[in-house]
Amino acid sequence: MRYAMMLLCVVAVACAKAERTPAAAGDTLTQHQRDSVLGASRLPGARGIRGALQAQDSASARYRRADSIQ
């Protein structure tokens, strides 16, 4: 029993220390492109993703307009 608990602790520490990459190595899509693909799907919540992307694009355009005025 003691050996199993030690092994479990070692595995837990190894998993906690493992490096996690945010995207796959061969992935060429940006986060915005991935979100727009999800928003175009018929998955539950896709409508909310579309709304969030529209709000993000609107805020970005507004920021660019304000930045170009100065």
Give the model's pLDDT for residue 4: 72
Give the 3-state secondary structure of the chain: CHHHHHHHHHHHHHHHHCCCCCCCCCCCCCHHHHHHHHHHCCCCCHHHHHHHHHHHHHHHHHHHHHHHHC
Q: Which residue has the tokens 């694009």?
A: 57
Give the model's pLDDT for residue 12: 72
Is 8 within a domain?
Answer: no
Per-residue pLDDT of the chain (70 residues), as tens digits, is: 777 777 666 667 666 665 555 555 567 888 889 999 999 999 898 999 999 999 999 999 999 999 888 7
Give the model's pLDDT for residue 52: 93
Give the model's pLDDT for residue 50: 92
Is 64 within a domain?
Answer: yes
B/e letters for 14-44, b = 16+ CB within 10 Å, e = fewer, are: eeeeeeeeeeeeeeeeeeeeebbeebeeeee
Give the model's pLDDT for residue 53: 93
Give the count of domains, the chain.
Answer: 1
- Which residue range forms the structural domain that includes residue 51? 31-70
Is 21 within a domain?
Answer: no
Is 10 within a domain?
Answer: no
Is 18 within a domain?
Answer: no
